Amino acid sequence: MLAFYERNAGWINTIVVLYGLVLLLSWQNMDRVISELAGQIMTQAAQIQSNRKKESKSKKLNLAEFELSWDKALMKSRFPLIARQTSFIPCKSSLENIHLLVTKDDLFKRTARKLAALGIDIEK
């Protein structure tokens, strides 16, 4: 086995490095998509909060209340593959895959702390 590796080390290492690069770009692509969706939530939450201040109502916002433009999020994707950080197999960047891979928890984690700093309460 060692002799095989020594004969083919250049090819094997090149494949491993290329795979790692593709996976890294897929992870970064996923991060861009989630950041876009989180930005949409932040913008809408600020608008909702300003309307509520006028009405003097304060209740927690729910993630289901937000209208997310998944198409805009897909447009932020610069690489044709997408993958979660825990995934070792990237999949094609498409609306269906983004819907499958982006969870409410991802969006909650990305927005909760920032919205709390602005005085906006949010729940999953």
Can you list the alpha helix ranges (DSSP code H) found in the chain?
Answer: 2-55, 70-75, 95-101, 104-117
Q: What are phi and psi of 81, to 5 degrees?
A: -120, 155
The predicted structure's pLDDT at residue 57 = 58
Distance CA 82, CA 107 (A): 16
Low-confidence ranges of the chain (pLDDT < 70): 53-59
Between helices 104-117 and 2-55, what is the axis angle to 10°?
Answer: 50
The predicted structure's pLDDT at residue 36 = 95
**pTM attached to this predicted model:** 0.85
The predicted structure's pLDDT at residue 21 = 97
- Residue 85's domain comprises 2-123
The predicted structure's pLDDT at residue 34 = 95
The predicted structure's pLDDT at residue 23 = 97
Total count of domains within the chain: 1
